[in-house]
A and B are shown apart, each in its own frame.
Chain A
Amino acid sequence: MSRLLAVLVLLAAIASAQTADEVKQATDSVKAAFRTKDEVVIDKAIRQSMKVNDDAVSKEIAKGLRNRSLAVRQAAIEALGSMDNETALKELHRLYFGDRSLSKNPKLFALLLKEIGRHGDPSSIKVMTDSPFNRLTLESGTARLMGLGNIRDPKSVEELMKLSRKASGKQRGTGVTSQWRGAFNQAFDDAMFILTGQDYGRGKEDLEKWWRDNRKDLKIDAERPQVSEEVSERWAGYWQKTYYKDAKKAPPPQTFNAPIIIVENPTPEQESQAVANLKDAYKTKDPDTIAAALQRYGGTVSSRVVHEVARGLRYKDPKVRMVAVQTLGWTPTKDALKQLHRMYRREKKLGKEDEALFAELLKEIGRHGEKSSINVLSDKPFKYHTLASSRARIYGLGNIRTKDSVETLMKGMQKTGTGGARDSRTFKQDEPRAMPEFNVALTVLTGESMGPVQRAWLQWWRDSKKKLKISPERPPVADDIRRKWEAYWNEKY
């Protein structure tokens, strides 16, 4: 036994000695690189040394945080964000509170917030919530929300709730565009879901109710909960690492649940019963009763039933309107689609008044996959533009299996802006923000795999548009495309 212990002690000593060597080598290499004053050499040394996760190495890399070169500062921030030690995080905090001029460089400032959030340490909550609307950009706002979502502490949820309230009171005059609000809403939803593992429902009132009911006893598990594939993929895409610590752990199986009961080919009795039940529900004037009746009877495929469901589109209560839109989206008849088209046509300010309902309306129009919806989905795409409305238009066009849809998507792709300026180090132009969605829609329509790269799709279009034919059936596509499609539509590919 004592011999085994001696061997173990020896092995530990060898390992420690190797680590000490590595640490010395890493710190020396960074020191030497700084002496050269060559940003390419420094950048390379930092990126090489950051693999040695040690306080001393972090301390040395931190000297790059105040380097004149933007590229070196960026490399140092990224390195310290990835290094899992106390010094790395402290140095990032020190930079945040010590160098107020940093916020004048929005890209670097957002990167700093993101890398602080990456540590997931509760001590960073004060950074994440420090003057959040000061020099707000899409990237910095997202970094704060995602950062809080990565700090597994009940205080994060509390701060997210405070931010949500502040944001709703500050929408005007802060320069927060509707597109930003869409991105922030999504980041907020993802952060809350990842922290709590619970879907708190839809709308501000539902959220507040959930918070009132849960804030006292709220506990946050150390491990991230199972979430939908869409959420885990967004998280992984943002942080550039797998969502589940155990990479082999499978995400929950995708289930498809239509929000309504669909009765195709109903008997005359079923039809009359559905109409009568819907009329009775409207008489109660109770939104919950009406919404439940729409879900239970609204999917009876009949023109008379569609007529009754459409009354819900004009209802005062937003929940009833939302359920009516969804019901008509899932009801497989052209009458239902026409009601949705009419709502789009007559409610010209819907995108301003209720962004979520507007995006849902576009989504449910797209669900029908009818050629007559191309004009609607491509109508003034930048008016009331949000992340959700843009996705609804793109996925909707992807669901209409015609060459015209491809052409409309190609035109739309060229009109959308890029994600930002050229990257300061690589000089690569960012892809359009909605490029991942364009890629999914175009892949599903054409069966081609060009990836989320605008130039590749444009080149393909130039080469193929004359002879392009769109098959009536969706082609086989890669798993990740299929999963995204299914997660969005809540229907099997």
Chain B
Amino acid sequence: MKSTSLTLALLVLAFAPACKSKGPKGVGFLDDYSKLTPATQAERKNSWNWFKPGIDLRKYDYLLIDPIVVMGAKGSATEKLSDDLKKRATDGFRNVLFETIDPYYSVVKEPGAHVLRVRIALTDLTPDEGEGEGSASLEGELIDAQSGEKLAAFISTVQGSKGGWRAEKKWLAVEGAFIAWSKRLLEYMDSFHEDAEIEGA
């Protein structure tokens, strides 16, 4: 068994009792928040995830990215953002995601064999009003596009990232979050190959 997935499975089990009834409070984009456990990486505060035990993404060559949506909590500033801003955010994220992923995985429009479906909702978009407090949050899941089986779910917040360079100054942190998430997805998919058993060994 792959060591990454084994570790992830053990981590899920280890955290399961504590989080079973609680889980994070989501905006309703995901069906089930109860399985989510806090991310293990110290720098990923306010981030939660769940991975199907034994998950192995090596077989996926393609990504199907569902239209990204903005879904802020009821009454939140994000929910009240103008449609134009929401569209700019989702388009911007999609572009960053595409540019990061496309050299390595083809982004396709139809489900099929070896296609991994990605569903994402931006749940918080906080501009930087001069105090370095800009941040962004999302909820998302990875699904086998052919069978519909859920493979992973996650909630993530990235705060004060300086990665952006194309957006207006106050949205730089949000764009930085888009870049960080895109890289994380790529790195996550790579991680399955790094520990993979070598064929023919």
State the A residues within 8 Å of B (CB). Answer: 282, 285, 287, 290, 303-304, 306-307, 310-312, 314-317, 320, 334-335, 338-339, 341-342, 345-346, 372-373, 375-376
Do B200 and A345 touch across chains, with their CB atoms under 8 A apart?
Answer: no
Interface segment out of the listed B17-25, B28-36, B97-105: B97-105
Contact B193 A314 (CB under 8 A): yes
Question: Distance (Å) between the CB of A300 and the closest chain B CB?
Answer: 16
Task: Report yes or no: A282 in contact with B199, Cβ–Cβ below 8 A.
Answer: yes
Q: Which B residues lie within 8 Å of A334 (CB)?
A: 106
Contact of B198 among A316, A373, A376 (CB under 8 A): A316
A341 in contact with B199 given A303-B61, A314-B193 (CB within 8 Å): no
| Contacts A303-B114, A316-B198 supplied; 20 other A-B pairs, CB < 8 Å | A282-B199, A306-B61, A307-B61, A311-B199, A314-B199, A315-B198, A315-B200, A316-B201, A317-B200, A335-B106, A338-B61, A338-B105, A338-B106, A341-B104, A342-B104, A346-B190, A346-B193, A372-B102, A375-B103, A376-B103
- Residues of chain B contacted by A316 (CB below 8 angstroms): 198-201
CA distance A314 to B196 in the complex (A): 9
In angstroms, Cα B186 to Cα A339, docked, is 13
Residues of the A chain whose Cβ atoms lie less than 8 Å from the Cβ of B103 = 338, 341, 372-373, 375-376
Closest-CB distance, A268 to chain B (whole angstroms): 14
Q: How far is the CB of B113 from chain A (nearest CB, A)?
A: 7
Are A307 and B104 touching (Cβ within 8 A)? no
Q: Mark B62-84, 1 if CB is under 8 A from A, else 0.
A: 10000000000000000000000
Q: Mark B166-201, 1 if CB is under 8 A from A, else 0.
A: 000000000000000000001000100110101111
Residues of A within 8 A of B114 (CB): 303, 307
Closest to A343 in B: B193
Residues of chain A within 8 A of B104, CB atoms compared: 338, 341-342, 345
Q: With A342-B193, A345-B190 as given contacts, are A285 and B102 in contact (CB-CB < 8 Å)?
A: no
- 14 A-B pairs with CB atoms under 8 Å apart are A287-B200, A310-B61, A311-B199, A316-B199, A317-B200, A338-B105, A341-B104, A342-B104, A342-B105, A345-B104, A346-B194, A373-B103, A375-B103, A376-B103
Q: Give the complex CA separation of A310 and B106 in angstroms.
A: 15
Residue of A nearest to B61 (CB): A307
**Taking the nearest CB of chain B, how far is it from the CB of A322, in angstroms?**
14
B residues engaging A (CB < 8 A)?
A: 61-62, 102-106, 113-114, 186, 190, 193-194, 196, 198-201
Q: Shortest distance in angstroms between B95's beta carbon and chain A's nearest beta carbon?
A: 15
How far does the Cβ of A378 sit from chain B's closest Cβ, in whole Å? Answer: 13
Question: Which B residues touch A282, using CB under 8 A?
Answer: 199-200
In Å, the complex CA distance between A439 and B190 comes to 36
A290 to B200, CA, bound (A): 10
Alpha-carbon separation in the docked complex, A290 to B199 (Å): 12
Complex formed: what's the CA distance from A314 to B198 in Å? 6
Contacts of B102 in A (CB 8 A): 372
The closest CB in chain A to the CB of B60 belongs to: A307
Chain B residue with the shortest CB-CB distance to A370? B103
Residue of B nearest to A314 (CB): B199
Kindly list chain B residues whose C-beta atoms are within 8 Å of the C-beta of A314: 193, 196, 198-199
Q: Nearest residue in A to B112 (C-beta to C-beta)?
A: A303
Give CA–CA (A338, B106) in the complex, Å.
Answer: 7
> How far does the alpha carbon of A306 sit from the alpha carbon of B106 in the complex, in Å?
13
In the complex, what's the smallest C-beta–C-beta distance from B179 to chain A, in angstroms?
Answer: 15
Q: B173 CB to closest chain A CB, in angstroms?
A: 25
A residues less than 8 Å from B61 (CB atoms): 303, 306-307, 310, 335, 338-339
CA distance A377 to B45 in the complex (A): 35
Residues of B within 8 A of A312 (CB): 199
Residues of B within 8 A of A339 (CB): 61
Using Cβ atoms and an 8 Å threshold, which residues of chain A touch B190?
Answer: 342, 345-346
CA gap between A285 and B193 in the complex, in Å: 20
**A345 cross-chain contacts in B, Cβ below 8 A:** 104, 186, 190
Task: Rank and list the top 4 A-B pairs by shortest CB-CB distance, nearest first.
Answer: A316-B200, A372-B103, A346-B193, A316-B201
- Kindly report which residue of chain A lies nearest to residue B190, judged by CB atoms: A346
**A372–B114 alpha-carbon span in the complex (Å):** 22
Known A-B contacts A314-B193, A376-B103; A304 and B113 likewise in contact (beta carbons under 8 Å)? yes
Residue on B with the closest CB to A290?
A: B200
Least CB separation from A304: chain B residue: B113
How far apart are the CA atoms of A257 and B176 in the complex, in Å? Answer: 48
**Whole-angstrom distance between the Cβ of B22 and the nearest chain A Cβ:** 36
The closest CB in chain A to the CB of B59 belongs to A307
The smallest C-beta distance from A105 to any residue of chain B, in angstroms, reads: 48
* Interchain nearest-CB distance for B71 vs A (Å): 31
| Closest chain A residue, CB of each to CB of B193 | A346
CB neighbours of A307 from chain B (8 A): 61, 114
Given A341-B104, A345-B104, residue A315 in contact with residue B199 (CB < 8 A): yes
Task: Please give me the residue from chain A that is nearest to B192 by CB atom.
Answer: A346
